[in-house]
Amino acid sequence: MSRYSAAEIEANWQKAWDDAGIFCAKAGGDKPKYYVLEMFPYPSGRIHMGHVRNYTMGDVIARHKLATGHNVLHPMGWDAFGMPAENAAMAIGGHPKEWTYGNIADMRAQMKPLGLSIDWSREFATCDPEYYGQQQALFLDMLEAGLVYRKNAVVNWDPVDMTVLANEQVENGKGWRSGAEVERRELTQWFFAISEMAEELLSALDTLDNWPAKVRLMQENWIGKSRGLQFAFGLNDAPEGFDRIEVYTTRPDTLRGASFLAISPDHPLAKRLEHEDEALAGFSAECRKGGTTEEALEKAEKRGYDTGLTVRHPFDTAWELPVYVANFVLMEYGTGAVFGCPAHDQRDFDFAVKYELPIIPTFLPSEEADEDLAEAFVPPKTQPVYYIRGFAGEAHQTAHEAIDAAIAFCEANGVGQGVTKFRLRDWGLSRQRYWGCPIPVVHCDTCGVVPERKENLPIRLPDDVSFDVPGNPLDRHPTWRNVSCPKCGAAARRETDTMDTFVDSSWYYARFTAPHAETPTDLADAEYWMNVDQYIGGIEHAILHLLYSRFFARAMQITGHLPKSAVEPFDALFTQGMVTHEIYQTKDDRGRPVYHLPEDVTGGKLADGTEVEIIPSAKMSKSKKNVVDPIGIIDAYGADTARWFVLSDSPPERDVEWTAAGAEAAHKHLARVWRIASEIAASDAPEAAEADEALLREMHKAIHDVSTGVESFGFNAAIARLYAFTAALAKSDAGSAAKREAACTLAQLMSPMTPHLAEELWHMLGGDGLVAMAPWPVADAAMLVDDTITLPVQINGKRRTEIEVPQDMPKDEVEKIALATDAVQRALEGGQPKKVIVVPGRIVNVVV
RNA sequence: GCGGGCGUGAUGGAAUGGUAGACAUACCAGACUUAAAAUCUGUUGGGGCGUGUCCCCGUGCGGGUUCGAGUCCCGCCGCCCGCACCA
């Protein structure tokens, strides 16, 4: 071979790794274990650059850990249930199962050429009956433990996908997948009791030191803990059973400014009143119709319906407040009833103005401030305000202090009690879909809901289904649902709902530790491999997947499927950025945008010479046609080039822009490294003491910086160092022995990023065995510091000159030399310096 | 509205409070070549003259702390992300 040929090299070395079986993980042994996992892909059929970046990062970690003497687990699988398979079946015919397994085969074939250090023997798809059968077993155990239950609830119904969605899957009132406006329906559904663990899921966030603060914060906000007062208003002329209206408030300090009570149209009292009040029924119906999108809510007028009823203020039974049914009160949060304090909430203020209700301030910005407010006075959180109707007498207090005082006052006077509430709702898992894990229960007319017997698992999805009509094919299957009751043997019906696909991905990491176990997990294997030491994936899973997984890890502990040590599933989390690309656009004759693929654009022009408009980089998407296919890049340059490029340039947590020029440059560099190494392999230059020493120093600095970079997700910085080391090696006058040593080290340092080229270099230079298994080089601390160093000399904090001094020269001597320099002498003008700061090895600063 | 993050050359970006712009891209110049490609070498934040191991300015804007601030603090401006009729 006379030049770098990725195609030849990569296939060979992949085979060599396979033959040696070096990525096959076995529990046990003396080495410390290391479990690195990237979020497994949905088998859409094609890998994209985002996958390449994600899996390359994981691979760098995995290979580095392998080389540093760890027993590494690095598995891969498929998040294979879900809507797209059914949509494909509806659109192009065929069966979701065939579509999915076909896609998995295609994607596996596209992924293999990347040369990832994956233990493919552990591969599974969540749609394998062996996997979802164990998930059903897990479900039954959770059912027994009271972690899953059934209830009648108002749910989010996606009219396009014709299924229920979890709260987490509704974004701005629209289905996360279909984008359709979500409707409210009342259905009997299965729920995971995640809200029972709210406090634990919240407080344990503090232990996740190696998670991005942003993700922890997002989860904290999602769990939404609040402290407030729950109390009741007494209702005058109450219908039976409604003499007390429960209210929850986080601002009990404003209770003396209350001027009305507002209840949700879905509040039991409102529903009761509807029967006798037609106008109210009409009002409520209209409220329910309104959309829940951000825009709709923004525009929607805050409206109320005066029920004519009144409540008594808890502090003064003679003080009566009107009761409204209002369109802005949610039944889902708190108690479905709120008191309005117009003085300190703009919405309540507007409401009060509209319905001519009193505006009573409880506090003011200062003692001098006017009590007549032109708008609501919302106090700053941390600054004290002047309470005129407070609970600690008239006082300057922060809202925080006042709230505590109010709760204490109310509790002491028997008006309600302080309570903690969470925003987190239970996770509805029922989906009215075919391509998901069947919920293993049976409905019996006499026994009710009966869990399946474990020996009947897996409850397999039937193959003979059709998708010619919308809805759930399981529901209309002629025989599948007809079963006998596991308890009494009478004719019964199988549950036709399947599980939310987020269930599948909530425990797969645990299954990887023993993918063929006859139970969901094997405790010994789980004990050995868990927790995942490093998890890598997109920030888009910050809430849903990661919160559900944290819940499942706990649930699996309770049901005995994970050891006590595995409370949190993921010890460290890294969220990587996206791969973006410029968008190329022209306009058609009606002025509508037409997008063009990057490969069709050269120098800003199409093949026919038409200029394209270049729109700034954005996430690669089919609709904008700014997609670069990894397969094309691997064919043209090889996997190592693609891997090198996605790691260079941008820090891994940020987006990286894919450019043709950048990919080409990456390839040029790899070719250069190959050339330099082959020259070194062929040369027999004599030793050159000084140059040899200089090169070895460079080498040890590179070892240090690359090791640090790889360990701290500073891949771009590690690569920058490798560029510099390569340049130093190319320029060096060292003898061939020293050069060979340096080149071998270069191969080792490059091996996590460009494993195939690294093996080739290693082999070419006479390295022993596989570089993948060679012990990672260790930097010699003595070689990291030069004997003489260049110290910058500042005058009044500005760099003016520099001095060469021995590395270990005492401070006072360094100071003398610095003061003797021309620049300092000039600045001193014969006088004495006011102060001299010498930071050893860093800098000298002379203050004149 | 609430919460968080970011702002550095033409571009992506580097910089434990210690030489701002590493490394790469792009551009320009040179070597090799009949020529191009490939390869190699060099220059490139702005300005000034006195062309120097020179001086001034420079990390969104304004202030502060410090011997020293891209980095820490306060206040603005801009962009991005998350949450949101949450009581």
In this prediction, residue A811 carries a pLDDT of 87
Mean pLDDT, range A741-758, rounded to an integer: 96
Per-residue confidence at A290, pLDDT binned at 50, 70, 90? low
Q: Which of residues 806-835 of A touch strand B (CB under 7 A)?
A: 822-823, 835
Query: Could you read off the pLDDT of A153-195 as tens digits, one per residue?
Result: 777 888 887 778 776 677 767 777 777 777 777 788 999 999 9
Looking at the predicted structure, is the pLDDT value of residue A267 above 60? yes
Measured at the CA of A707, the angle between CA A789 and CA A73, to 5 degrees, comes to: 170
pTM given for the model? 0.92
Strand pairing partners for A312?
A: A234, A320
Query: Could you read off the pLDDT of A503-515 as tens digits, one per residue?
Result: 999 999 999 999 9
Q: Which of residues 271-330 of A touch strand B (CB under 7 A)?
A: 290, 292, 294, 297, 300, 302, 327-330
- Does nucleic acid strand B have an atom less than 7 angstroms from the CB of A790? yes
In this prediction, residue A821 carries a pLDDT of 85
Per-residue confidence at A450, pLDDT binned at 50, 70, 90? very high
CA→C1' distance for A455 and B25 (Å): 62
In this prediction, residue A706 carries a pLDDT of 95
- Quote the tokens at residue A687: 């030793």
- C-alpha of A592 from chain center: 36
Query: Could you read off the pLDDT of A324-339 as tens digits, one per residue?
Result: 999 889 888 889 999 9
Looking at the predicted structure, is the pLDDT value of residue A283 above 60? yes
Determine the Cα–Cα distance for residues A528 and A626; give it in Å rounded to an integer: 44
CB neighbours of residue A127 within 10 Å? 25
Asked if A758 contacts A712 with a C-beta cutoff of 8 angstroms, the reply is: no
Looking at the predicted structure, is the pLDDT value of residue A293 above 60? no
In this prediction, residue A259 carries a pLDDT of 93
CA→C1' distance for A384 and B11 (Å): 49
**N-term to C-term CA, chain A:** 64
* CA of A332: nucleotide with nearest C1': B86
In this prediction, residue A402 carries a pLDDT of 86
Q: Which of residues 333-392 of A touch strand B (CB under 7 A)?
A: 333-334, 336, 338-339, 347, 381
- Does nucleic acid strand B have an atom less than 7 angstroms from the CB of A655? yes
Determine the Cα–Cα distance for residues A149 and A144; give it in Å rounded to an integer: 9
- Does nucleic acid strand B have an atom less than 7 angstroms from the CB of A648? yes
Per-residue confidence at A587, pLDDT binned at 50, 70, 90? confident
Q: What is the mean pLDDT of chain A?
A: 90
In this prediction, residue A186 carries a pLDDT of 78
The DSSP secondary structure of A126-180, one letter per residue, reads TTSHHHHHHHHHHHHHHHHTTSEEEEEEEEEEETTTTEEE-GGGEETTEETTT-P
In this prediction, residue A380 carries a pLDDT of 64
Per-residue confidence at A832, pLDDT binned at 50, 70, 90? confident
In this prediction, residue A563 carries a pLDDT of 95
In this prediction, residue A172 carries a pLDDT of 67
Model ipTM value: 0.93
CA→C1' distance for A799 and B51 (Å): 21
In this prediction, residue A409 carries a pLDDT of 93
Q: What HEC string does A273-334 produce?
A: HHHHCHHHHHHHHHHHHCCCCHHHHHHCCCCEEEEEEEEEECCEEEEEEEEEEECCCCCCCC
- Does nucleic acid strand B have an atom less than 7 angstroms from the CB of A678? no
Per-residue confidence at A588, pLDDT binned at 50, 70, 90? confident
- Does nucleic acid strand B have an atom less than 7 angstroms from the CB of A796? yes
Nucleotides of B strand lying within 7 Å of any protein CB atom:
3-5, 12-16, 18-20, 22-26, 38-41, 53-56, 67-69, 81-87
In this prediction, residue A378 carries a pLDDT of 78
Q: Which of residues 733-752 of A touch strand B (CB under 7 A)?
A: none
In this prediction, residue A614 carries a pLDDT of 80
Q: Comparing C-alpha atoms, which of A407, A248, A256, A416 is closest to residue A321?
A: A256
A761 Cβ contact list (under 8 Å, min separation 6): A673, A674, A677, A743, A744, A746, A747, A750, A771
* CA of A421: nucleotide with nearest C1': B86
CA→C1' distance for A836 and B21 (Å): 28
Per-residue confidence at A841, pLDDT binned at 50, 70, 90? confident
CA→C1' distance for A430 and B25 (Å): 51
Within A301-422, where are the H helices? 346-354, 399-412
In this prediction, residue A216 carries a pLDDT of 92
* CA of A303: nucleotide with nearest C1': B85
